[in-house]
Amino acid sequence: MSLPILKAKNLSKNFGGLRAVANVSFDVTPLGVTSIIGPNGAGKTTLFNLLSGLYIPDEGQLLLEDTDITQLSPVQRLACGMARSFQITNLFFDLTVEQNLQLASQKLESWTNLFYATSKSKLALKRAEELIEEFKLEAKKDEPVAFLSHGEQRRLEIAVTMALYPKILLLDEPTQGMSQGDTHNTSELIAELSKTVTILLIEHDVELVMDLSKHVIVMAQGEKIAEGNPHDVRNNPIVQTAYFGETE
Amino acid sequence: MDKYQYQAVRIMEYVMLVAAIILIIFGKITGDTFFLRLATEALIFGGLALSVDLLLGIVGLLSLGQALYFGFGAYLSALILRDWVPSFWLCILLVAISSAILGWVTSYIALRSKGVYFALISFGLAQVFAKSIYNTRALGASDGMVGVPIVQIPLPFLTLNLGDAITFFVVTFILMSCIYFALKYFLYTPLGRIWGGVRSNESRLPYLGYNTQTPKRIAFILAAIVAGVSGALYPMLRGFVSPELMYFSVSGNAVITVVLGGVGTLIGSLFGSSLLMILKSIIGTLTFHHHIVIGLLFIVVVIFAPKGIVGILCTKLKERATR
């Protein structure tokens, strides 16, 4: 078994009197998809925000390849190789697809290039072109993002997070609001990406999670209640109770 | 900027150039310098509007106190020219450096907040400076400063006399063109793209690895320099400065100018300023209450043409292309 790329140790977060995440620990091993699931209000999104740096945990520690990133900002976490997408599409809507990807890739360049014409930023332009091709956005590259379909926007959201070659990608409900066809395409895309980058996924669609994941972490009421491979998790009575309630 | 907006901006640039040439020829033939001086003043206030557009249209920061830097540049220019040395280049250089420092210092106050709070802080800063100058006897207090000498600009083969209306207009036109093209250049750099990102969705940028304060601070300082240098020309043209240059009416007029011309287009600021100056002088001959008409015009533009003159031209170009 390979060494974990991400280690969460006893992460906790309180909002006033509400304990949103309580003593959650888990490991994420390199490559493939690790997923976090749980019913509404389980604390998935809070946990995700703790991992991505939007919130700093009240207690606990987060290690990315043995580097302590617990107190780091999102900017610093990205520099360490951690990128995230958003549940609600969070892009630059009045910029074009190409401009969004160039903006996302610009950090590959030296900061001095900020002051030269965009055409001098060869690395960023090349990376944007690669992503346009990889995510099949060629036909829309000159369109402002606001004019894209929901499915295309979600695809671009993932493309943007891939711009800086992250080691680990945190995906927050990437198929939210998608049609069945788009969900299928995105699922294939995530499976393909997971061959080269570690993916930590939060998703409501349990079937999708079970198909894609090598490891599943289940949360309920702010705590981790189970983890394991999809088969074990599916058959775990504690998980079934959390999802479907007590059976008489 | 889509291709129609690009075309619209290009057309406006040519219109400005042709209008300038016509004005110069008209001034040369008739000897009537009234319109040239009016156009020079329009360009100077157009420079202030350019700085507002850089902040509002490019970065998404509504400044209601940009007159602070304009007035600062005007006062510093008047002090240098009247009390020290009447050198155009030294004056412009010192004003640019001092405005940058003032912009840098005040950015730490203004950029602490966003949205409407930023607008209110920028407004407050300008009011504090304006009232301080209003109460400073050494700077002429409420009377301002008079007696700024006419400036000569020595060049390798000739000396330009800014007392001549045509010369002053040409110098102002060239200086404003340089500022305009320099700002336009920035739009096509990665820095310009980050500004667009700040305007479009600032909270997303940290997740792409950007600290948003630095690009905002660069824009804020650049805007201070542009406003300051524009202000530096004012006492050279009018021979005096007064605290009113820092008042809200000046900052507010600059915002109206930008909206009238087209937010985020840069050329709209220079064009809008010229148009506003023409309207003011025409309406001013008919009624003392020209501010009412300008206010109404602002409302009409915001409702029916929120993208300003450049936006109207852009729509016409699109219609023509799809016909």
- What CATH code is carried by the domain that includes residue A176? 3.40.50.300
Number of domains in chain A: 2
CB A144 within 8 A of CB B220: no
- Residues A69, A16 share a domain: yes
- Residues A99, A220 share a domain: no
A86: in domain: no
pLDDT score, position A1: 58
Residue keyed to tokens 């010192």: B94
- Residues A72, A44 share a domain: yes
- Residues A117, A221 share a domain: no
Contact residues on chain B for A124, CB-CB shorter than 8 A: 190
d(CA B61, CA B119): 8
A222: in domain: yes
Neighbours of A200 (CB within 10 A): 25
d(CA A216, CA A28): 10
The complex scores an ipTM of 0.84
pLDDT score, position A3: 84
Contact residues on chain A for B188, CB-CB shorter than 8 A: 117-118
Q: Is A108 on the interface with B (CB under 8 A)?
A: no
- Residues A133, A198 share a domain: no
pLDDT score, position A247: 56
Find the residue in A nearest to B1 (Cα).
Answer: A95
Identify the domain boundary among A118, A136, A165: A165
Tokens representing residue A52 in the block: 């991505």
Query: Collapsing DSSP states into helix, strand and coil, what is residue B319?
Result: helix
Q: Do A115 and B191 touch (CB under 8 A)?
A: yes
Say which residues have a Cβ less than 8 Å from residue B206's Cβ, sequence separation at least 6.
A73, A74, A75, B212
Tokens representing residue B137 in the block: 């006897």
CA angle B19, B312, B194 (to 5 degrees): 95
Q: How many CB pairs under 8 A join A and B?
A: 78
Contact residues on chain A for B203, CB-CB shorter than 8 A: 90
- Among A93, A109, A115, the residue with its CB nearest the CB of B200 is A93
d(CA A198, CA B188): 35
Identify the domain boundary among A165, A196, A215: A165
d(CA B24, CA B29): 9
CB A24 within 8 A of CB A224: yes
pLDDT score, position A213: 93
A231, B66, B79, B140, B148 from B85: Cα distances, Å: 85, 27, 9, 19, 11
Task: List b or e across A113-146, with b for residues whose CB sees 16 or more CB atoms inside 10 angstroms.
Answer: bbebebeebeebbebbbebbeebebeebbeebbe
Chain A from 176 to 235: CB within 8 A of any B CB:
none
State which residues form the domain around A154.
91-165
pLDDT under 70: residue ranges of chain A: 1, 244-248
Q: Do A74 and B207 touch (CB under 8 A)?
A: yes
Q: Do B204 and A92 touch (CB under 8 A)?
A: yes
Identify the domain boundary among A165, A184, A216: A165
- Residues A67, A177 share a domain: yes
- Residues A194, A159 share a domain: no
- Residues A202, A144 share a domain: no
pLDDT, tens digit, for every residue of A114-129?
999 999 999 999 999 9
* Sequence letter at residue B224: A
Q: Where are the domains of chain B?
A: 3-322
Tokens representing residue A183 in the block: 């969900």
Which pLDDT tens digits describe chain B residue by residue (323 residues)?
Answer: 678 889 999 999 999 999 999 999 999 999 888 899 999 999 999 999 999 999 999 999 999 999 999 999 999 999 999 999 999 999 999 999 999 999 999 999 999 999 999 999 999 999 999 999 999 999 999 999 999 999 999 988 889 999 999 999 999 999 999 999 999 999 999 999 999 999 999 999 999 999 999 999 999 999 999 999 999 999 999 999 999 999 999 999 999 999 999 999 999 999 999 999 988 888 888 888 888 888 888 899 899 999 999 999 999 999 998 87
Say which residues have a Cβ less than 8 Å from residue B90's Cβ, sequence separation at least 6.
B80
pLDDT score, position A180: 85
Q: Is A165 on the interface with B (CB under 8 A)?
A: no
CB A160 within 8 A of CB A84: no
- Residues A9, A126 share a domain: no
Which architecture, in CATH terms, is B3-322? Orthogonal Bundle (1.10)
Q: Do A102 and B193 touch (CB under 8 A)?
A: yes
CA B233 to chain centre: 12
Find the residue in A nearest to B203 (Cα).
Answer: A90
Q: Is A244 on the interface with B (CB under 8 A)?
A: no
CB B64 within 8 A of CB B117: no
d(CA B268, CA B183): 13
pLDDT score, position B96: 98
A174: in domain: yes
Q: How long is chain B? A: 323
- Residues A194, A75 share a domain: yes
Contact residues on chain A for B208, CB-CB shorter than 8 A: 78, 103-104, 107, 160, 163-164
Burial of A205 per CB tally in 10 Å (0-12, 13-18, 19+): middle
d(CA A95, CA B45): 30
Residue keyed to tokens 């250049």: B185
Q: Is A111 on the interface with B (CB under 8 A)?
A: no
A-interface mutation test, from B207, B211, B217, B263, most A Cβ less than 10 A away: B207
State the DSSP H helix or E strand holding residue B177, giving kind and residue range, or none if neither.
Answer: helix B165-187
d(CA B72, CA B106): 13
CB B236 within 8 A of CB B168: yes
d(CA B1, CA A233): 51
Q: How far is A143 from chain B (nearest CA, A)?
A: 9
CA angle A224, A79, B194 (to 5 degrees): 115
Q: How far is A243 from chain B (nearest CA, A)?
A: 32
CA angle A114, B111, B130 (to 5 degrees): 120
Q: Do A103 and B197 touch (CB under 8 A)?
A: yes
Contact residues on chain B for A164, CB-CB shorter than 8 A: 208-209
- Residues A159, A132 share a domain: yes
